[in-house]
Each structure stands twice: as structure tokens, then as C-alpha cells.
Amino acid sequence: MDLQFPAVASERDIVLTMGVFDGVHLGHRQLVRQVIRRARERGCLGGAITFHPHPRAVLAGDGPPCLVTLDERLALLAGLGLDVVAALPFTRELARLSAPDFMGLLCRHLRLRELWVGSDFALGHRREGTTTRLAEIGCELGYQVHVVPPLVHEGQTVSSTLIRSLVQQGHVEAAARLLQRRHCVGGIAGPEERQDRGPGLSTASVAVSDGVALPAGGVYATYATWRARQWPTTAHVKPGSAGTGRLLEIHVPRRAEDLVGQPLRVEFVRHL
């Protein structure tokens, strides 16, 4: 099999991190900051590889709803200051590779000098590539492994799993503190259903992108963004829509028919 990376990544030494990085939350940001700092110290590139889709979706067929889309994830990682950000398709073929085979393949494409990962990271067939095993492989391939402990924030270990749980329970303010931004979903606006929310307010449906986490059913204070315009709105997530539900209603201060077929982004501020 082959791996595809930006051409610049094969021209210079690189300090690298790998993972799914769903949400690019506080813990991920702490890890990336250390990668960037170390890369600058060594005069290397700083890079990240993100696996997509979620390994559980490929291996077990029941991957969790995502906090961000792949494009958003790549943009968030690049926005932290990394020199190289690449998505690696996670397939059954990739999952069958042994840890030495995967790292050997990686090192044929990248001039890897240091690998920085979380303490629970593992790769390779049956997750044989623990941090200890990866360090052993690194002695042969010429890279060092650095393990970063999980970030504890306000008494909780920050993880994508925790944040998904918060979102799906409707605790969007708590999720925002761990994401360092409001949880957001995107979708296509549907036709107006009614105009009974007060003068100038219209109700539109939004078909939410597949696989993106929605909060628990209820009404939320939100912001809706269309093109360069943003309005304070309210959104109704119908009961049973949490997780990978597809529809929500938003109440916008303009004619909803103007938005039909247009992409909208909805940021969740708090549960009302």
C-alpha cells in the first residue's frame, strides 16, 4: 500500500503526532503545542497525521458521531501552526499492518525524528504498537517517542469521548470549554415551515451533515451563520435526534425562503 503526504514533508526532518483528533480539543492542543515547540528547537517541520474515518467505524461498524467534519479538523490543526497536516484514510488494509510494517512505511515517506503521542495511543494489528513498542521500533528506524499524559481540566480528563457525551446530554457550555469554541453543526436549509415566532421571525429546517453529533433534544440559544452574516437564533433539536440525528429547526430574523438550499452553520451557546 502507499501513503500520500505533502511533498515538503519528505524534504526535511519532521516531529510528528498521530491520532484521530476529533474536535481538536484542549488535550489535542496541548499535544500539538509541544510538537511545534520541539520542532522549532530542532529546526524541523512540525506535523500531524489524522486518521479518517474513525477506526471504530471501520473495524466494528459503529463509529461515534463526529464533533467536527474532516475538513474542519484539518483546518483546526493547521490553524494551530503546524507545518504539515495530512489525513490518512483508515482502512481494513491499514488495520492489518503490523506496527513495524506501518512505521517502516511511514519512515519511507517521512524523515521522522520524533513521534509525540498520547499515553493511550496504539497502532498496528490488534493495537500491538503501544508506546513502548513504538519506542523499540524507533531505535531501529531512527526516531524517538515522547508520551504526553492526558490533560485534566476542572477535575476531568479531557477526551473526545467525554465531549461527545456532554454534547449528547445537552451540556453544550461545558463542551465549549473543553473545545475552546462552541460546538457547531453544518447543514442545508430547508423550506420555511411556519412564521409564528414573532414579527420578522421565520422557522426553517436544517438537514444536518451525516455523522455529526447533535445535542440532546430541546431548545438552545444558538448563532446561525450564512455566508458572512451571523444572527442570534434559537434552535430546536427534536427528541430522538441526538447523536447522528438529521434535522433541527432554527428561528431566524429573515425570510426563511431566502435560505432554502443554502449551507448554514449553527453554533450552540446554551440549553434554554
pLDDT digits (tens, 9 = 90+) for 74-92: 999 999 999 999 999 999 9
Is 34 a residue whose pLDDT tops 60?
Answer: yes
- More confident of the two residues 243 and 119: 119
pLDDT over 90 percentage in the chain: 70
> Facing residues of 229 across strands?
226
Half-sphere exposure of 107 (CA within 13 A, CB side): 19
In one letter, which amino acid is 248?
A: L
Highest mean pLDDT pick, 153-157, 174-178, 246-250? 174-178
Q: Please give the pLDDT value at position 246.
A: 62
Averaged over 253-260, what is the pLDDT?
Answer: 68
Residue 100 and residue 55 in contact, taking contact as beta carbons nearer than 8 Å: no
Look at residue 99 in the predicted model and tell me its pLDDT. Answer: 96
Instruction: Check whether the bond before 239 is cis (ω within 30° of 0).
Output: no
Cα–Cα distance for residue pair 246/187, rounded to 1 Å: 9
- How many percent of the chain have pLDDT more than 70? 88
Residue 244 is predicted with a pLDDT of 45
Domains of the chain with CATH codes: 7-158 (3.40.50.620), 182-271 (2.40.30.120)
**pLDDT one-digit tens code per residue, 110-133:** 999 999 999 999 999 999 999 999
Q: Which of 222, 225, 231 is nearest to 253 (CA)?
A: 231
DSSP character string of 30-76: HHHHHHHHHHHHHT-EEEEEEEES-HHHHHTS-PPPBSS-HHHHHHH
- Using 50, 70 and 90 to split pLDDT, how confident is the model at 270? very high
